[in-house]
Structure 1
Amino acid sequence: MAAAVSARLRHSTRTHDDYEVRVAGRGTVTVTPAVARCWVYTTLWRGRRRLHSGMGLTVGLGVQWTPPFLDSSSSDDESEPDGGESEPDSSDNDGGSESELRPGTLQLCSGHRCLVFQIAQAADNADGAAIPAILSRFLDDPRVAFVGYNVRSDCRKLSAHHGLEDRCARELREVTGMGNASMAGMAERLLGWGGVKKDKRVGVSRWHARDLSEEQVFYACHDACLSYCLGARVGVMPDSDPASY
């Protein structure tokens, strides 16, 4: 069964844009820390029964970044790697922020709700704290499992540039047992969603831009939503005792 996927702007406000994304449900795109804070609080409230019961939450996670060649040049190079899924997972690289590309967006998905937080813009424009404290605590919460493709690389970027630590990260390639299969392959095999693809040209676009295109919004929500759906399908759960938190 082919998955119907699309993104449509529902309405725009001073603080955020609200999109309807067919695969993901509803996506919020924002540069405003207060909007990201509200999204996290709402997610925790909606998942309160699972949290209190000890089952924990599963959240899809992804990070997009602007490739170095776009920072220094306006040329398009189709041979550049995809900005998200196919970057090598150099897990042994313990370098600092100089060796990690700066995140442009952080996307999270829980159920049918996606957040695309323009973390680079927030950091550049912030008068105060760019990263809401609740977001930092959310990522560090042992009751929440964050699942993604090449998630360790994403976590290194968040740590190197923003001091964000993900205590319970889960790699899709490991939890699905599908090795180096693409997300599209995982979706077809585990979810029955054929024809789910990501546009690599969008993946290597300017993710630090002030205004993201609808194609970028869809790409980011698609990434986090698929991670969530795949993680939920294989039963990804936190491995920490919630009573100790």
Structure 2
Amino acid sequence: MVAATVSMRLRRSTRTHDAYRYKVRAAGAGRRGFLAMVTSSPSVARRWVHTTLWRGHHRLRHGKPLTVGMGVQWTPPFRRPSTLQLCCGHRCLVFQIAQAGGGIPNALRRFLRDYPSVEFVGYNVLADCLMLSEHYGLVVSRATELRVLTGMGRASMEGMAERLLGWSVSKSRKVAMSNWNRRKLSKAQVTYACLDANLSFCLGVHARRTRQSVLTAMAAGSD
């Protein structure tokens, strides 16, 4: 298995956010590009949510699930979420929720809570949802554990990525245990957070498509 390469390039830095170009190059999958928005600004997070809903309105209007990769980072030993990272399509948001001063936009609250067709998938996602609820009052109405969705109950996220996507990736424990409460995240932290949310999204989409293909084949065989 050839290791996937992940690159991150800062495209723009403003008073309210940093915009990155994030690329994953993997054997057999070519190069996939993503846009990452890193911010503690509620208004920037709100715009990301509105754009995501606008881009997914066709699926939502027809009752089709909209998959969103989700993850949370915190600074050990405390388990208060420092960042909430989301990924849908080729767009990622790293919301520095601990730096937002309690300013969580209502659009984000509703996005997590009020859209039954929006499915948030992640690794150990139910624990993440519990932390978000306890510390910020955020309710995630439809959260799905990747290990359940893929049927790989004991696998690591890296193991799932290698088996299902053909991506050999590594998530740095040193970065995971770093200080996520800093005002400006390091490039390594942004890369880690985006990889977490992006892998969740890609694995969630892959699992849903595989399941749908199996169901379609079963239905065709029963005719």
Unmatched tracts of structure 2, length 5 or more? 25-32, 210-223
Which residue of structure 1 aligns with residue 6 of structure 2?
A: 5
* Deviations 1:78-119 (CA, angstroms, capped at 9, x unpaired): xxxxxxxxxxxxxxxxxxxxxxx1100000000110000000
Which residue of structure 1 aligns with residue 217 of structure 2?
A: none
Q: CA deviation at 1:8?
A: 1.3
Provide the rounded CA distance (Å) in 1 between the counterparts of 2:87 and 2:21. 13
Instruction: Summarize the alignment of residues 41-190 of structure 1 with structure 2, pairs less than 5 Å apart.
Output: 41-68=50-77, 101-123=79-101, 130-140=103-113, 141-190=115-164
* Deviations 1:34-73 (CA, angstroms, capped at 9, x unpaired): 00000000000000100001102000000000002xx7xx
- Equivalent residue letter for 2:178: S
* Deviations 1:126-169 (CA, angstroms, capped at 9, x unpaired): 5xxx1100100000121100000000110011000110011000
Higher helix share: 2
Matched length: 199
CA RMSD of aligned residues (A): 1.2
Q: Identity across aligned pairs (percent)? A: 62
Unmatched tracts of structure 1, length 5 or more? 72-100, 237-245
- SS of corresponding position for 2:181: coil
TM-score by length of 1: 0.79
- SS of corresponding position for 1:208: coil
Q: CA deviation at 1:208?
A: 1.0
Q: CA deviation at 1:172?
A: 0.5
Which residue of structure 1 aligns with residue 213 of structure 2?
A: none
Provide the rounded CA distance (Å) in 1 between the counterparts of 2:59 and 2:21. 26
Structure 1 residue 40 corresponds to structure 2 residue 13: no
- Equivalent residue letter for 2:83: T
- SS of corresponding position for 1:6: strand
Q: CA deviation at 1:7?
A: 1.2
TM-score by length of 2: 0.87
Which residue of structure 2 aligns with residue 232 of structure 1?
A: 205
Q: CA deviation at 1:3?
A: 2.1
Instruction: Summarize the alignment of residues 192-211 of structure 1 with structure 2, pairs less than 5 Å apart.
Output: 192-194=166-168, 196-211=169-184
Q: Which has the higher contact order (CA 8 A, sep 6+)?
A: 1
* Deviations 1:1-40 (CA, angstroms, capped at 9, x unpaired): 4322111111100100001111361100001000000000
